[in-house]
Chain A
Amino acid sequence: MNLTQTNPNFFKSIFNGRNAVIAIPYIWLLLLFLLPFIYVLKISFAETIYARPPYSSLLIWGDSWLPSIKASFDNYLFLFSDSLYIKAYLSSLKIAFISTILTLIIGYSIAYSVARAPNRWRGILLMLVILPFWTSFLIRVYAWIGILKTEGLLNLALMSIGIIEKPLMIMNTDLAVYIGIIYSYLPFMILPLYANLEKMDMSLLEAAADLGCRPFKAFWTVTIPLSIPGIMAGCFLVFIPVMGEFVIPDLLGGSETLMIGKVLWTEFFYNRDWPVASAVAILLLAILVVPIMLYQRSQEKAIS
């Protein structure tokens, strides 16, 4: 074997068209996910200092020709010593869980009625589900302030038709956060559910009816079990991002609404404690690894 001859072939075999195409997502993930992640991970082991950037360096170049590593777990330990963080994580879990369930109930009924609508209506109905994406997420959340605030549209409407006398205090409560989350994440629930329900074989429901099953029972024994892949996909697509949600609790929630995304923002921009903020982010990711992996597995199962 001659090296000078094998080398060009070797490079050719690596830089062929197929590999180049496959490389794009890998490079994307490497640059926009893995590198920032390593950077944040690095900061989470550092100490806060008054400097620019406001954290200590991980590698100390001393007298010897090898740098010494100066990493500490103090930031992580701090998260467990102050009950605020644990409470924020738990509160985020609770809010994410409850809003996922509520979104599922609302989303399922919408997805179901769209999937069972006459063919010519389906495209339009689905369009209406996706339509809000044309407006910025932030603006849509701001719009809810206008609806929910004390002298907002909702209260004015309810008072003018005489259902209530005093305005409802929804704004700056957990309820407002739930409304905002459910509204914002509903399409992420509807779309996978619709995709699943739409392709369901209707003769299965006829078979169930033929075998003596009432329509309502057939829904629970046939439709629901067969839509589990769609339910799983929708729930994870809602649960995972809601867990780290910051904008909605910040704009619609009150001071008592505790979510880890908000804590993270406060640490980072208000306290300028980058190392602790990074530790909060890493721990959040660690918590989310479990549902992400469950989601992956359910998707693989659905494919096979």
Chain B
Amino acid sequence: MSENIQFSPWLDSSQKPYIQIQNVTKKFGEFTAIDNLTLDIYKNEFFSLLGPSGCGKTTLLRMLAGFEKITQGKILLDGEDISEIPPHLRPINMMFQSYALFPHMTVEKNIAFGLKQDNLPTNEINQRVEEMLELVELTDFANRKPNQLSGGQSQRVALARSLAKRPKLLLLDEPLGALDKRLREQTQFELMDIQEKLEVTFVIVTHDQEEAMTVSSRIGVMDSGNLVQVATPAEIYEAPINKDVADFIGDVNILKGIYKGQNEVGTQLLSEDSNSIVFATQEVGASIEDEMWFAIRPEKLEISKTIPSHNHNILKGKIEDIAYGGSFSTYHVKLDNGRILKAIRANRERTKEHHLTWNDEVYLQWAPHSAVVLLS
């Protein structure tokens, strides 16, 4: 690659945000769906709104599209306040979760629909439709009706239709939710390619954390109407802000600890589970005897039958369950106090015989920089 510049406009203070969501609140009667939310999204970002169902992510997306009126606050697109602009006048297009293809129109007509609303000349419409069909590789399906398409094809028609008008911003509501796993993974990469090629800003809503991790430049993790953390996928995964985020993104072991101060290695915690001191390189501002947590991802736990030479960051247990996943195996290790931790080990050798088996006494250890200390 000739260019190896990290795309991170949010770190560059000279960059102007493209979409500014400013102190937006949305109420449905008494219920507050979005609670004083502020968020900046930059041009050409692939931004994911991630969260459990009912967290308000879809409401936020629908406010960007103009389908929900903002109760308080405002939304700016490219510096212009769009809060009061009705959906049909916004330079924003949306790909619906149900795809919402017009069942009485052919694929071609569906894609041309938005262009016709702009009263473009016929030859230009045809040319753009052609381009879009090529982009999503559906040229042969131009004259099909939506009910003659497979799920994956419908998804691509919906994408082509929402991109045909070359929107400033494309909103995607659970775009891959209806596809099976294999197709979903393939489509994720296609989406990224298309996004790069067309240089459109994407905001996607998803509850699938893997999907968010794969496609996004940044992820906004939402919970009960507000953003909990906004960061790159790697930051969210490796440095979650609290237990909820750590738990929501990927698998994690969360252990309780009592703060015992700092030393040259880092933070010292007394683990409740092992009743021994554990170290974490991360520094925290806390006072002695404060209660906190440390989170370790399963793949960062090393599992072995031999006693480690050092005496910190060790937990002893027994293998309770093994989930063989082909490329890796997940071990459920039961600690003496009954807690179960997950450890993942890559199956590097091609063998049916694994050294570890049920009821084996094992030691779990991890490097001080592998654990994240969480205050809440």
Residues in A lying within 8 Å of B, measured CB to CB: 201, 203-204, 206-215, 217, 221-222, 225-226
Given contacts A201-B100, A213-B117, A226-B103, 4 further A-B contacts (CB under 8 A): A211-B165, A212-B165, A213-B88, A217-B117
Interface residues of B in 265-317 (CB under 8 A from A): none
Within 8 Å by CB of B93, from A204, A210, A214, A225, lies A210
Closest to B158 in A: A207
Contact B94 A210 (CB under 8 A): yes
Name the distance in Å between B66's Cβ and chain A's nearest Cβ: 8
Known: A201-B98, A203-B96, A206-B96. A211 touches B117 (CB 8 A): yes
Q: How far is the CB of B68 from chain A (nearest CB, A)?
A: 11
Q: Are B104 and A225 in contact (CB under 8 A)?
A: yes
Interface: B248 (CB within 8 A): no
Q: Report the nearest A residue to B147, measured CB to CB.
A: A304
* Cβ–Cβ < 8 Å partners of A217 in chain B: 117
List, in ascending order, chain B residues with CB within 8 A of A226's CB. Answer: 103-104
- Asked whether, in the complex, the Cβ of A208 is within 8 Å of the Cβ of B65, the reply is no
* Chain A residues near B117 (CB-CB < 8 A): 211-213, 217
Given contacts A212-B88, A213-B88, A213-B117, contact A207 B100 (CB under 8 A): yes
| B contacts, CB < 8 Å to A | 65-67, 86-89, 92-94, 96, 98, 100-104, 113-114, 117-118, 161-162, 165
The answer to whether B88 and A210 touch across the interface, beta carbons within 8 angstroms, is: yes
Report Cα–Cα, A264/B65, bound state, in Å: 62
Contact partners of A204 in chain B: CB under 8 A: 100, 102-103
Q: Nearest Cβ distance between residue A219 and chain B, in whole angstroms?
A: 13
- Smallest CB–CB gap between A143 and chain B, Å? 41
Assembled-state Cα–Cα distance A214/B65 (Å): 15
Contact (Cβ within 8 A) A206 B67: yes
Residues of A within 8 A of B96 (CB): 203, 206-207
B residues in contact with A210, CB < 8 Å? 65, 87-88, 92-94, 162
A103 to B: closest C-beta gap in Å: 24
Please give me the 8 A-B residue pairs with the lowest Cβ-Cβ distance, nearest first. A211-B114, A212-B117, A207-B100, A203-B100, A209-B87, A209-B88, A225-B104, A210-B94
The residue that B87 contacts in the complex, of A201, A203, A206, A222, with Cβ under 8 A, is: A206
Q: Is the CB of A211 within 8 A of B161?
A: yes
A202 CA / B167 CA spacing, docked (Å): 22
CB contacts (< 8 Å) of A209 on chain B: these are 66-67, 86-88
Q: Which of A212, A222, A225 contacts B118 (CB 8 A)?
A: A212
* B101: A residues at CB distance < 8 A: 207
B29 CB → nearest A CB, Å: 13
User: Can you give 10 A-B contacts (C-beta < 8 A)?
Assistant: A201-B98, A207-B102, A209-B87, A209-B88, A211-B88, A211-B162, A213-B88, A213-B113, A214-B88, A217-B117
- From A207, which residue of chain B is reached at the shortest CB distance? B100
Look across to chain A and name the residue whose beta carbon is closest to the beta carbon of B117.
A212
Is A222 in contact with B102, judged by CB distance below 8 angstroms? yes
Residues of chain B with a CB closer than 8 A to A215's CB: 88
Q: Which chain B residue shows the least CB distance to A222?
A: B102
Q: Measured between C-beta atoms, what is the minimum distance from A241 to chain B in Å?
A: 29
CB contacts (< 8 Å) of B94 on chain A: these are 206-207, 210
For the complex, give the distance between the alpha carbons of A212 and B116 in Å.
9
Chain A residues whose C-beta falls within 8 Å of the C-beta of B118 in the assembled complex: 212
Asked if A206 and B88 make an inter-chain contact with CB atoms under 8 angstroms apart, the answer reads no
Chain B residue with the shortest CB-CB distance to A212: B117
Closest to A213 in B: B117
